[in-house]
Chain A
Amino acid sequence: MHYLNEHLLPGQTGHFFVLLAFVCSILATIAFFKSYKASSELEKKSWLNFARTIFFIEFASLLAVFAFIYFICSNHLYEYLYAYKHSSKELEPKYLLACIWEGQEGSFLLWSMWHCVLGTIVILTEKKRQALVMSAVNAAQVFLILMLLGIYVFDAKIGSSPFSLTRNELNGPIFNQANYLTFIQDGVGLNVLLRNYWMVIHPPVLFLGFASTIIPAGYAFSSLVSKDWGGWIKPVIPWALFSGLALGTGIMMGGKWAYESLSFGGFWAWDPVENSSLVPWLIMIAAMHCMVIYKSTGRALRASYLFTLLAYFFVLYSTFLTRTGILGDTSVHSFTEAGITMNVLIGLYMFGLTVPLFFLFLKNYKYIPAIQKEENLASREFWMFIGSLLLFLSAVFIISITSLPVYNRILHTNLADPPDREFVYNKVLVLVIILIGLMTGFAQFLKYRDTTKKYFNQKVMWPAIGAVAVSVLLAIVYPITYDSKGPGFLIAIYLALFACIFSVIANATYVFKVLHGKMKTAGSAIAHFGFALMIGGMLITSSNKLTISDNSKTGLFIPFDKDPSGRGTEDPMENLTLLKGIPTEMGIYIVTYYADSASKNEKTRTYYKLHFESKDSLGKNRENFVLQPDSYRMKDNNLTSNPDTRHYFTHDVFTYVSTISNPDHNKKDTTSFTTHEMAIGDTTFYSNGYIVLNKVEKNPDNERFHFSPDDTALVADVTAYSNKGTSYKLYPGLKVHNMSIDLLDDTSITQNLYVRFSGIAKGDKFKIGVKENNALADFIAVKTYIFPYINLVWAGLIIMAGGLLVSLLHRSKASKGLSTVAMILVFSALIFLFLFAHG
C-alpha cells in the first residue's frame, strides 16, 4: 500500500547516520587500539590519523542524528513514533529539546554525544595515552549506539531507532488506510511533570556527568594495558575533578528541580533514582582523593584503580536500575519495562566493558606498586584515605538498600521498602557526616607524611573553639526541633551540625591563615568549605522544616467522621482547605485564595492566586505577597501540580495545590438572600438554628476587619447559634467607597450560611440578608511548608563546584586567561541557576 503524506526521507537519512556512527565507533575502537599496538612510529601515526578521522565522522553523524530527530519532532511528523510519543503541537519551542531527551533513544544519543565532546578534548590534550583512552571511549560508544540501531538480525530487533515508523511499531485499524496520518491529529507530547525549564537543563548536565566517568576509566585501562602503573594519575586528576563537578551539579540540579517545581516537598527523598546517581558521585570523589594521595605520597594506587572502575560501573548499574523497569514498585519515577531485548542490551552495556576492565585490574593487581610501610597517623594521606573509604562504604550502603528490587528478582523474595525509608538512610548517613565533617576540617592542617603535634594543635585549636562556640550559640538561638525520631537522632543531628560548622570554619581558616588567601591552590579548601556548608544547610532546613498548612489548628472545619479505628489525632493533617474568597489562618499567615487564571499557552494549566499576609504584634502589615501554584488537568483528567515559592534570604515559603474542587460539582449559585429587618438583639431563624444581631459598629477593629477612622464602614456583629449547640461569629459589613457601597458578606462554611448587611431600615432597624446554599464553593486544598535557610544548601553547592573548578584548572595547568573565563562562566551560570532562576 502506498501511504499518503508521509515524509520518509528525514527518517531514512537519520537512520543512515545512526548506522554510520555505529560502524565508525567499531572502526575507531579498533583503529585507536591498532595505533597503540603498532610497532613503528610511522605506522602508529597513520593508524592514529585514520582513527581520529573515523571518530570525527562518528561525532558528525551523531550530530546529524540529533538534527534529524529535532526536525521530525519540531515539524510534528507523527509518521515517526518518536515524534508521536514525545512531541505535540501545543508544546512550546523550548520544550522541544526536553522532549528529545525524555525518551530512551534521545537520552542515549545525548550521552553518546557527550562522549564525543569529551573524546575530542582528550584528542586535543592527551598525547601519550590518547590511543588507548580513545579506544575505551569508542568501545563504550559501540554499546551505546547499539541501543539506537533498530535493525533486525534474524528475528530479533537490535536496539530501538528513534526513526522507526508509527505504522510499523503500533497495530491499529487506522494503519490499514493509506491516509492514516489524517487520523493522527496530535502527538502524546511531553509528560506534564516534565514541562519545566529544569527538564531542559538538568538531563544534559547529568548525562555529561555520566559520560565523563568513561574518561578516568579509559585512563585506568590505558595504564593497565601499557603497564605504566602510576603515570596515568597526574593527567587523570583533572578528569576526575571534572566528573565530580558535572555529576555533583547534575544531581543537585535534580534536587533543585524536585524542590522548585515538583510537589515532592523537598530536594531529596532517597528515591532509588536519586540514589543511583549519587552513588557514582561518592565513588568518583573517593577515587579522586586516592589519586591525589598517590600523586603526593605514592600510596593508594590500587584503590585509585578500583574506585575509578567502580565509579564507571555504578553509572552503568544506575542506568540498568532506572531503565529496565526493575524499580517499578519502589520509585515515584515510574519507568517501564523497555522490552526484553532492550534490557539485554542494557545488561550488555553494563558488563560488556566493565568485566574486561575488572579482569585486567585483577590480573595485574599484584604488579601494581603499593607501599608496604605503615602510614603515619599524623599524616594527611592517612585521613584522606579513611575519608575516601568512608565515602565508598556509604555508597555501598546506599546502593545495597536501593538494590532491593534486584535481590527480589534474583532470589524470588518479596521484600519491600522499610516503613520509613528516608530514616533508614538518614540515621546512618548522619553518622557518616559527623566523621566526614570532622575529617575535612582537621585533615587540612595535616601535612603529607608527617605533622608535628605542636603545629597541628596550634592550627586546629581556634577553629575547634570557634565551632563549639557557634554550635552552642545556634543550639540556644535557633535550636533544632526535629525530635520525632527520639533524642538519640537529635543528638546525632547536633553533632553532625557541629562537624559541618567546624569544617566550614577550619577550611576558611586554612585558606586565609595557611595559604594566605592564595586562591589558585585553595581549590580543595573551597570545595570542602562548600560541601560542609551544603550539608549543614541540609541538616538545618530538613530538621526545621515547618508544615504550616495544618488543618487541625484552624478550627474552621468540623471534624470529619472519625476513623473506625479511632486513630487520627496524631496523624499529620498537612493539607488545608481554602475556600475562594475566605481568609484562612495558616501558621503566621492569613491566606486568601482569591482568584484563578488559565495559562495563556497551555489551556489545561490553571494558576491559583493565593494572597499571603502576616501581621506583627501591633497589627501592622509585616508581609504581603501572592503565590501562584498551578495545576494541570491533563487530557485524561489527571492532575499534576507545580508549587510556587516565596524566597526570602533566610527561608522559603513553599506551597502547592494538593486537591482542587471538581468543576462538575460547581453548580451555579441560584439561591438569593432573604432580607430581614432586625433591631439590635433581634433573632431570626435559619434551617440549622438561629442568628442574633448583637450590635452594629462604625469602623470597628475586630478579628475580621481593621478599619481606620478615615473609612466609612458599618459592620454588624452577628452570632449564629446552631441547633447542635455550636456558635459562630459573623461580621457582615458595608463600606462606602468612591460613591458606591461595597457589601462585605460573611460566611459560615460549616453552616452553609451567608450573611449580608444590606442597609439600614426605618426605626433603628437594620437589613440583614440571610442565604443558605448547598452548592459547593470553589476551593482548593494546599500544602504549605517553610524551609528555613535553604539558601545555604544552594550556596554551599555553588561554592563546592567553584572549589572543584579551581582545583581542576590548577591541576590541568590551564592558562590564566582560560581559567578566568571558565571560572566566570561556570560560576555565573550556577549562581543564576540555583539562586535566581526560579521556574
Chain B
Amino acid sequence: MKTSSIIILVLIAAAIGGLLMYSVDFSTYDTITSAKQKQGEYVHLIAKLDKDKPIQYDALKDPNYLSFYAVDSLGSVTKVIYHNPKPADLERSERVVLKGRMEGDVFQCDDILLKCPSKYKDDKSQLEKTVTQY
C-alpha cells in the first residue's frame, strides 16, 4: 500500500471532494423580507399559514393549484402558490417550511413541510391538551 494506491486514493478523494464543492449549492432559511430581496433564488421560508386570508384550492377544477398566504415571525406576508394538491392538514399546521423561489410578490413553492401538533406525540403540552379533552 504505497505510492500508486495512495495516488489513486488521493485522486478519488479529490475528485469526490471537488464534485462535492462544485455540486452542492446549499439554500438558506430566510424570512419573507429577505427572500423578497433574493428574487428567483431558492430559499426555505419558515412561516405560518395566514388564517385571515383565503386559501384557494378547488381540486375539481385543478388539483395542481393551491394558493394561500403565509406570515412569518416578523409579520411579513406573502402569497404562496403551490402546484400540487393541498396538504390535508394545512389549516391545522402550527408552522410550515416552504421551499421555493420568490417571484415578484408571489412565492412559488416546490415543497411544503408541515409541522402539525397531531404528529407530535412526544410533545408534552400537546398530550396535556389531548388528555384533558376527554
The reply on A373 being an interface residue by CB < 8 A is yes
Cα of A299 to Cα of B49 in the assembled complex, Å: 60
The reply on B4 being an interface residue by CB < 8 A is yes
The contact size tier of chain B is 35 or more
Task: Evaluate contact between B81 and A563: CB separation under 8 angstroms.
Answer: yes
Chain B residues whose C-beta falls within 8 Å of the C-beta of A618 in the assembled complex: none
Cα of A372 to Cα of B85 in the assembled complex, Å: 62
Q: Indicate which residue in A183, A397, A575 contacts B85 across the interface (CB closer than 8 Å).
A: A575
* Closest Cβ–Cβ distance, residue B82 to chain A (whole Å): 10
Assuming the contacts A188-B121, A567-B103, asked whether A658 and B85 have C-beta atoms less than 8 A apart, the reply is yes
Task: Evaluate contact between B118 and A634: CB separation under 8 angstroms.
Answer: yes
Assuming the contacts A575-B63, A639-B89, asked whether A370 and B134 have C-beta atoms less than 8 A apart, the reply is no
The reply on A170 being an interface residue by CB < 8 A is yes
Contact mask for chain B residues 97-118; partner A; CB cutoff 8 A; 1 contact, 0 none: 1010001101010100101101
The reply on A576 being an interface residue by CB < 8 A is yes
* Closest Cβ–Cβ distance, residue A13 to chain B (whole Å): 25
User: Residue on A with the closest CB to B67?
Assistant: A563
Chain B residues whose C-beta falls within 8 Å of the C-beta of A638 in the assembled complex: 88-89, 92, 116, 118
User: Residue on B with the closest CB to A413?
Assistant: B28
Task: Evaluate contact between B122 and A557: CB separation under 8 angstroms.
Answer: no
Task: Evaluate contact between A779 and B59: CB separation under 8 angstroms.
Answer: yes
Q: Indicate which residue in A417, A427, A428, A572 contacts B27 across the interface (CB closer than 8 Å).
A: A417
Task: Evaluate contact between A424 and B121: CB separation under 8 angstroms.
Answer: no
Task: Evaluate contact between A336 and B122: CB separation under 8 angstroms.
Answer: yes
* Closest Cβ–Cβ distance, residue B132 to chain A (whole Å): 4
Cα of A580 to Cα of B20 in the assembled complex, Å: 49
Q: Indicate which residue in A84, A299, A382 contacts B131 across the interface (CB closer than 8 Å).
A: A84
Chain A residues whose C-beta falls within 8 Å of the C-beta of B8 in the assembled complex: 386
User: Residue on B with the closest CB to A783?
Assistant: B85
Task: Evaluate contact between A397 and B84: CB separation under 8 angstroms.
Answer: no
Task: Evaluate contact between A575 and B5: CB separation under 8 angstroms.
Answer: no
Cα of A389 to Cα of B16 in the assembled complex, Å: 12
Cα of A85 to Cα of B118 in the assembled complex, Å: 12
Chain A residues whose C-beta falls within 8 Å of the C-beta of B60 in the assembled complex: 557, 577, 579, 661, 749, 776-777, 779
Chain B residues whose C-beta falls within 8 Å of the C-beta of A777 in the assembled complex: 60
Task: Evaluate contact between A659 and B16: CB separation under 8 angstroms.
Answer: no
Assuming the contacts A104-B122, A390-B12, A416-B43, asked whether A565 and B103 have C-beta atoms less than 8 A apart, the reply is yes
* Closest Cβ–Cβ distance, residue A450 to chain B (whole Å): 14
* Closest Cβ–Cβ distance, residue B49 to chain A (whole Å): 15
Q: Which of B18-67 contact A (CB under 8 A)?
A: 19-20, 23-30, 42-44, 46, 58-65
Task: Evaluate contact between A659 and B131: CB separation under 8 angstroms.
Answer: no
User: Residue on B with the closest CB to A631?
Assistant: B88
Task: Evaluate contact between B12 and A393: CB separation under 8 angstroms.
Answer: yes
Chain B residues whose C-beta falls within 8 Å of the C-beta of A559 in the assembled complex: 62
Task: Evaluate contact between A416 and B44: CB separation under 8 angstroms.
Answer: yes
The reply on A677 being an interface residue by CB < 8 A is no
| Segment of A171-179, A276-284, A505-513 engaged in the interface with chain B | A171-179
Chain A residues whose C-beta falls within 8 Å of the C-beta of B27 in the assembled complex: 415-419
Task: Evaluate contact between B85 and A85: CB separation under 8 angstroms.
Answer: no
The reply on A458 being an interface residue by CB < 8 A is no
* Closest Cβ–Cβ distance, residue B65 to chain A (whole Å): 5
User: Residue on B with the closest CB to A432?
Assistant: B16
Q: Indicate which residue in B113, B116, B127 contacts A85 across the interface (CB closer than 8 Å).
A: B127
Task: Evaluate contact between A575 and B64: CB separation under 8 angstroms.
Answer: yes
Cα of A171 to Cα of B1 in the assembled complex, Å: 64
The reply on A501 being an interface residue by CB < 8 A is no
Cα of A183 to Cα of B9 in the assembled complex, Å: 66
User: Residue on A with the closest CB to B45?
Assistant: A416
The residue among A401, A414, A558, A661 with the most chain B CB atoms within 10 A of its own CB is: A414
The residue among B26, B27, B97, B127 with the most chain A CB atoms within 10 A of its own CB is: B26
Q: Indicate which residue in A84, A169, A563 contacts B106 across the interface (CB closer than 8 Å).
A: A563
Subset of 24 A-B contacts with CB under 8 Å: A84-B131, A170-B124, A191-B121, A336-B121, A337-B122, A374-B3, A375-B4, A377-B4, A385-B1, A389-B12, A417-B27, A418-B26, A424-B23, A557-B60, A557-B61, A564-B104, A565-B81, A565-B108, A567-B108, A571-B83, A636-B89, A640-B88, A659-B63, A661-B60
Q: Which residues of A contact B (CB under 8 A)?
A: 84-86, 104, 166, 169-174, 183-186, 188, 191, 299-300, 329, 332, 334, 336-338, 370-375, 377, 382, 385-386, 389-390, 393-394, 397, 400-401, 404, 414-419, 424, 427-428, 431, 551, 557-560, 563-565, 567-568, 571-577, 579, 634-640, 658-659, 661, 749, 776-777, 779, 781
Known: A375-B2, A428-B23, A557-B60. 19 other contacts (CB 8 A): A85-B122, A104-B122, A183-B134, A329-B46, A336-B121, A374-B4, A415-B28, A416-B26, A416-B99, A428-B16, A551-B62, A551-B63, A563-B106, A571-B64, A635-B118, A658-B84, A659-B88, A661-B60, A781-B85
Q: Which residues of B contact A (CB under 8 A)?
A: 1-5, 8-9, 12-13, 16, 19-20, 23-30, 42-44, 46, 58-65, 81, 83-86, 88-89, 92, 97, 99, 103-104, 106, 108, 110, 113, 115-116, 118-124, 127-128, 130-132, 134
9 nearest interchain CB pairs? A639-B88, A560-B62, A781-B63, A416-B44, A374-B2, A419-B42, A575-B63, A414-B29, A638-B89
